[in-house]
Structure 1
Amino acid sequence: MTPQITLYTTKSSPFGHYVEIALREARADYSVYEVDLVNKPPWYTDKVNPAGKVPAISYGGSPAPADAPSPSSFKLAESLVILDFIIDIFPESNLLPIDPVARASTRFLLNLFSTTLRTACMSIAAFRGSPEEVLDAIDKLQVHMPAPGSGRFVTGDTFTSVDAVAAAYLLRFDRCLERDIGSFPEGEGVKAYHVLRTSERFTRYRAYLATLAKRESVKASFPEVSEKVLAQLGHFWVGNRAFA
């Protein structure tokens, strides 16, 4: 029997989202606790993650409520570290290849995607960056997105941790730019969305995004709560527009 897993996250977080996608890909039995980052409960920093950030997980230990986790459970924070942990405890998930060379190559791409997309995300969410930064980030990564006839995902026909990270960011970019949600000047997001959706420059991106959006692990962890997610993102991201 697999030890209990509780994921502490918030639906607006791409970091927590790709961890949840990985858990679904692994067919893990887990529960989710939604952390209110505006009114963070004191027990969260005391008993789960002293840094107060999401995501975090508790693993194993004696049965206990999510808001009073067992002291004997293993607590882990930092999304990419959690992702590695999931890969280790669920090797059958195929989130990383077994072959050492392919494994290293996938890890390289994971670092590239996560770093590039995180930088663009933080820029438009909190630092009044231009949506052009999102376009440039996607364009930079397109060479690694599947070309026609090369497979459905970044490394071929197998969904890996790279695709989990890509899905969490790219779906948010798509929906937020369409609705002009961001710390950028009003109207700039819609312009960028139009470019992404119509320009020949982003043909490969659009095909990849459509494939990711159809993946069951992605659909189950995002679209049905997308309006809630967007409301949360709007609260945080558009609020920063006042300083633009």
Structure 2
Amino acid sequence: MLLYEHPLSSYAQKVKIALREKGLDFQVETPVGQGLGTATGVFAAASPRKEVPTLIDGEARIFDSTIILEYLEDRFPASPLLPRDPVARAEARMIEDVCDTLYEAVNWGVSEVRWYKRAEGDLAAAMTDAAARQTSELQAWLAAKLGDRLWFGGETFGWADISVAPYLNRSFINGLGTPANSPLTHWLERARQRPSVAATFAEADAVASGMASAAERLASGSVNREYRDHRLEWMMKSGGVQIVLDGLAKGNIRFTWPLG
């Protein structure tokens, strides 16, 4: 199997953790031109939105992290990630949806401000404060879902844990992690000890230093950013309306396929 990915993508991290939890062999590749939305070849043919992750498995061409997880669950049922109980399965999927949409958008917004310098001064402070409030609310919701259990699904690490780990870990990187005595903090410490999670996070850490030049690359035109669905909503509700307008004027933001 070949996984088109970027190590810093929380969506890709989710899939890599799942692949490793299932003990599957796979190769990874970061598509050339993916940061500009100009990628071509097999990746672009398989993923019309030109978004990672995208999985190639024989004749199968699958994009979207959730659909990839569902495919892996169907294709390799011997090591299930979803619980058997219908209510528990729905609970895991709801946790995934909140993380993939709302939590991802907040983390992404923080990177737009801190790494890509879309806002400075008072605006940057106000948007960072908004992100901190939103992150805290999301973390409180997740803490309630976890309760006093070892994992989100109970005694077994699974679908919901895979879905939460990349986003909560990113919060800690952003300085918005949970307090030391929080159940979520202890949960993440346990998750990081799993080989699947440790390897995935190590791959992200290995390329994170490159983000120091993110603002310069944006200014030079060597990268633009995709303002998809919940990310655009986050910008609009968190004080970034002018950022969107400026990005459109400068041509350094893009939207997903189809464009015309």
Q: TM-score range by the shorter chain?
A: 0.7 to 0.9
Query: Which amino acid in structure 2 is aligned with residue 90 of structure 1?
Result: F
Give the 3 Å change call, closer, same or farther, for CA 237–139 of structure 1 in structure 2: farther
Structural RMSD (CA): 2.8
Secondary structure of 1:58's match? strand
- Corresponding residue for 2:117? none
Give the 3 Å change call, closer, same or farther, for CA 135–44 of structure 1 in structure 2: farther
The C-alpha deviation readout for 1:201-226, integer Å capped at 9, x for no partner, is xx112111111111111001122541
Give the 3 Å change call, closer, same or farther, for CA 102–197 of structure 1 in structure 2: closer
Give the 3 Å change call, closer, same or farther, for CA 75–119 of structure 1 in structure 2: same
- Corresponding residue for 2:194? 215
Structure number with greater CO (CA < 8 Å, separation at least 6) is: 2
Give the 3 Å change call, closer, same or farther, for CA 42–224 of structure 1 in structure 2: closer
Pair 1:135 & 2:114 matched: no
Report deviation, 1:170: 1.4
Cα distance in 2 between the residues matched to 1:235 and 1:136:
31
Give yes or no for contact 1:7–1:55 (8 Å, CA) kept in 2: yes
Secondary structure of 2:174's match? helix
Secondary structure of 2:52's match? coil
Give the 3 Å change call, closer, same or farther, for CA 80–207 of structure 1 in structure 2: same
Give the 3 Å change call, closer, same or farther, for CA 52–204 of structure 1 in structure 2: same
The C-alpha deviation readout for 1:99-137, integer Å capped at 9, x for no partner, is 333323322333233333223223323376324122222
Q: 2:102 aligns with which of 116, 120, 129?
A: 116
- Corresponding residue for 1:182? none
Secondary structure of 2:151's match? coil
Pair 1:91 & 2:77 matched: yes
Q: 2:174 aligns with which of 158, 161, 176?
A: 176
Q: 2:86 aligns with which of 100, 106, 117?
A: 100
TM-score (norm 1): 0.73
- Corresponding residue for 1:29? 25
Pair 1:77 & 2:63 matched: yes
The C-alpha deviation readout for 1:145-183, integer Å capped at 9, x for no partner, is 242xx3x21111111111111111111221232xxxxxx
TM-score (norm 2): 0.69
Report deviation, 1:55: 0.7
Cα distance in 1 between the residues matched to 2:98 and 2:204:
28
The C-alpha deviation readout for 1:65-85, integer Å capped at 9, x for no partner, is xxxxxxxx2211111111111
- Corresponding residue for 1:64? none
Task: Tell me how many residue pairs correspond in the alignment.
Answer: 204
Q: Which runs of 5+ in 2 are unaligned?
A: 114-123, 219-224, 226-239, 247-260
Cα distance in 1 between the residues matched to 2:15 and 2:145:
21
Q: Which runs of 5+ in 1 are unaligned?
A: 61-72, 178-191
Secondary structure of 2:35's match? coil
The list of structure 1 runs, each at least 4 consecutive aligned residues, that deviate by more than 4 angstroms after superposition, is: 232-241
Give yes or no for contact 2:143–2:184 (8 Å, CA) kept in 1: yes
